[in-house]
Structure 1
Amino acid sequence: MKAIILTHGTRGDVQPYVALAKALREAGHEAVLGAPASAAALAEPHGVPFAPVIDEMNAFVDQPRVRRAMETGFSGLSGKRIALELTLASRPAMARFLAEMADVAADGGDVVVHMPGVPVHHIAEKMGIPAVPGALQPGWVPTGAFPNPMLPFTPPRTFNRASYATAQAFVRFMARSGDSLRADLGLPRRRGSRDILRRPDGGPATVLQGFSRHLLPVADPGYPSTVHTTGFWFLPAPPEWRPPADLEEFLAAGGPPVYIGFGSMVGLDPRKVGRIVTEAVRRAGVRAILAGGWGGISVDGNSEDVHLLEQAPHDWLFPRTAAVVHHGGSGTTGAALASGRPQVICPFLADQPFWAARAHAAGVAAPPQRGRDLSAEGLAEAIRRAVTDPAMRARAEEMGQRIRAKDGTRAAVGVLEALV
């Protein structure tokens, strides 16, 4: 089997698909990953064949004014104006991106696995092979058991299933960019061509969900049998990776520190976030490793109790900490769960509030600290609770065992093998 895996976005949007490609290759299959050129460094250490595509849309989002608007939910007149500008600018960029995705698949394959928001199922249709959406968060497949996690509010229970229309509307909107690709591929117009949850013949598409059922609000969401919730798709540290000497020295110099990192969340003012975080560390009386990531936290330098880190593999670092403070992206949440360490989640946008609420409800995290309202007092109190609450620590260890017991990538490979 040859799988063509197509995705876009920042590290958290690409890394799980690298893990899937790696698992496919370990199972004796071929896999090629098409993703933004900036993600090549993720694939290369694991021997995953990588096909770079343009980074234009990432460049749009990386503009400071756009990221500020995103992190406030595009609120206010200015935010809505930026959202409209982003929408209009993304259309031609998406068209170019999809054309390059078609080039990735030019050598043929047996299945296309893709990010749900990227309308490349037309490519699979042209090739006559299955297109499999690979979702990294619940919200793409409707269920009456709980509302769409991407909504910024909770509707009445009777509207749970209807709430997923927002995701479907987004897919249809993005799929407009795929219409020109469809024409370029010589595919005829047909009813339902924008619906990624349906095959060209109208039957239900196979869907992979790369997260754990243990963190869903209900034990049985009532998904159709074609939807497979496999467990998180973890990418292990590269075999040759070694921790920097100064990191090892810091870890050895005292008790387990608290990890604090907000990934690609820039925040309204990284310097301000840095001041809040360092003050919270001081108030909580803990040692801490601060991960700068994509500029989310900015501080002047190391101190006796604070160590600055660009990045380190989560599967290596998190088990060596006392607690994990993060922004609530699905990949980081999964890695923190697998480590068996208590968490403090500071959600900013999108699916992050959902993961924060679910981790707290599961008893493995302190009450969420909203990123836009972050304060030294609130963060310090949440950190103290995470590192001192024995019940939370026990629950986190138990959850970690459950998460580690399920190899999500191997389960996903099994689904694809059965499909093809």
Structure 2
Amino acid sequence: MKVLIMTLGTRGDVQPFVALARGLLAAGHEVVLTAPHRFAGFVTSHGVPFTGVDDGPMRLMDDTAGAGAVIEGGIRARLRQARTMPAMFTQLLEDCWVVASRGAGAGADLVVHNGQILAGQHVAEALGIPAVLALPVPMYVPTREFPWPGAGFPPWLPASANRATFLGMKAPVAMFGRVVDRWREHTLRLPRRRRRHDPLRRPDNDQGTVLHAFSPAVLHAPADWPDSVRTTGYWVLPPSSEPLPDRVEEFLSAGDPPVFVGFGSMSGRDPAHSTAVVLEAARRAGTRLVMATGWGGLADSAAGDDVLVVNEVDHQLLFPRVAAVVHHGGAGTSGVAFAAGRPQVVCPFVGDQPFWARLAHRRGVAPEPLPQRHLTPSGLAAAITTAITDSDLARTAEQLGRCVRADHGVGDAVTALEGVALAHRPT
């Protein structure tokens, strides 16, 4: 079986698919992972065949100030982004078809895609092969049990309203539908049909397979999800074979377990202010700190006797050794924190981050979320103090971590993909 994996987004949107690709390779299958060019080194360093496509909207992340304005800005910033985004997909879509039709992905039996790249189900339709929607966040499949994770809907909505909030996934069609339709017509030579933009539906309008790459121990599969939707467990790369850097080991050994703070690629408007808030909160909480700079999320000039600043560090090795994990609520970071079995403090910015923040609180492993726009030294200090002193939080986090680590996420996903490919073979 040859699998073409197509993904778009930040590193958190790419890394789970690298883990999946490694699992497919280990099972004897052929794999090509397609993502923006910027991820070539990261993907190939894990032994996964890679072919790049245009960076498209990822270029918005290259301007820290601009990205921060969109993340924290109001409706005007979002409208400006909406006007520029469609054109950013034109070359990306063309590149995806080149990869799939005559490039490294040619001859694939199956397309696995994350929806964000927009091309997945259309490429599969043009090739006459199945498409599988694969997601680290339950963004597409409606349910009565929780609201759409793509926006900060209040958790107290009635069940009937929860399902309605998933209409939020119509926004990409409204924004990018014309671009995709032109590409379908002129490049893929595909006719227009009903529900062509719905990745939950196959071309014959039957339900397509959806794989959710998170733990059922963290989020139980809702009773109203169809059988075509499967929750496998997290798709996690194995921990690095290299130990933590010497300076990290020395810092961990020099005192009580520190608190980790990192906001990933979420920069905000003023990283220096965010850094000052974090440092003052740690001082008030009386804790040592490992602070990750990420993609500009926190300033890198704050090192001291009680503060270690790192750029990139293996979270799977570090998180089990800290007193608590303070993070932005990205799906990938949340998954590693759940698996580590450590208490959390979640400070969400946008998108699905408030969803994971509320879920961590409901699961009893974190105090109430602290949205970034309301973050203060006193509020963060209080949350950190709770996380490192509340025995119930610690016990619940440890129990949940054991459950998450018992999953076989990649293995179950590989088995599911083998089943999809087998069902599509001519008899």
> Paired residue for 1:381?
382
Tell me the alpha carbon deviations over residues 163-214 of structure 1, each in whole angstroms, 9 at most, x when there is no partner. Answer: 1111134245434322122121111222221111100011001111111222
Matches within 5 A, 1:156-171: 156-171=158-173
Superposed CA RMSD in Å reads 1.6
2 CA distance for matches of 1:348 and 1:221? 29
Amino acid in structure 2 at the alignment position of 1:310: N
CA distance in 1, matches of 2:406, 2:289: 29
Contact preservation (8 Å) 1:259, 1:318: yes
Residue pairs, 1:336-355, within 5 angstroms: 336-355=337-356
- Residue 89 of structure 2: aligned partner: 94
Q: What is the SS of the residue equivalent to 1:256?
A: coil
Q: Give the deviation of 1:158 after TM superposition.
A: 2.1
TM-aligned CA distance change 1:175 to 1:7, over 3 Å: farther
Q: 2:393 aligns to what SS in structure 1?
A: helix
Aligned counterparts, 1:262-341, within 5 A: 262-341=263-342
Q: Is the 8 A contact 1:118 1:174 kept in 2?
A: no
Question: Which deviates further from its counterpart, 176-185 or 189-198?
Answer: 176-185
Matched with 1:56 is 56
Percent identical residues: 45
1:179 and 2:174 matched: no
State the distance in 2 between where 1:139 and 1:243 align. 34
Contact 1:342 1:387 in 2 (8 A): yes
Q: How does 1:214-253 map to 2 (within 5 A)?
A: 214-216=217-219, 220-239=222-241, 241-253=242-254
Taking structure 2 as the reference length, the TM-score comes to: 0.93
Amino acid at match of 2:361: H
TM-score, normalised to structure 1, is: 0.94
Distance in 2 (CA, whole Å) between partners of 1:252 and 1:214 is: 32
| Alpha carbons of structure 1 residues 294 and 221: separation in structure 2 relative to 1, 3 Å | farther
Once residues 195 and 302 of structure 2 are traced to their aligned partners in structure 1, the CA distance between those partners, rounded to angstroms, is 55
Query: Is 1:197–2:191 an aligned residue pair?
Result: no
User: Residues 5 and 190 from structure 1, CA distance in 2 versus in 1: closer, same or farther, beyond 3 angstroms?
Assistant: same
Greater CA deviation, 149-158 or 185-194? 149-158
Instruction: Encode CA deviations 1:212-245: one digit per residue, 9 max, x unaligned.
Output: 22233x6634210000111111122343x34222
Change (3 A) 1:119 1:219: closer
Residue 64 of structure 1 and its aligned partner are, at CA, apart by: 4.0
In 1, the alpha carbon distance for the partners of 2:173 and 2:364 equals 34
Number of residue pairs matched by the alignment: 413
Structure 1 range deviating more: 382-391 or 38-47: 38-47
Report whether the alignment pairs 1:104 with 2:99: yes
Partners of 1:176 and 1:22 lie apart in 2 by 35
Q: Distance in 2 between matches of 1:372 and 1:96?
A: 35
**8 A Cα contact 2:143 2:222, kept in partner:** no
**What is the alpha-carbon distance in structure 1 between the residues aligned to residue 21 and residue 124 of structure 2?**
18
Alignment of 1:2 onto 2:7: no
Q: 2:152·2:355 contact (CA, 8 Å) conserved in 1? A: no
1:33 touches 1:50 (CA, 8 Å); kept in 2?
Answer: yes
Structure 2 vs 1, CA of residues 168 and 411 (structure 1 numbering), >3 Å: closer, same or farther? Answer: farther
Query: Residues 126-145 of structure 1: matches in 2 within 5 Å?
Result: 126-145=126-145
Q: Secondary structure at the match of 1:214?
A: coil
**Unpaired segments ≥5 residues, structure 2:** 422-427
Deviation at 1:254, TM superposition (A): 1.5
- Counterpart of 1:369? 370
Gaps of at least 5 residues in structure 1 are none
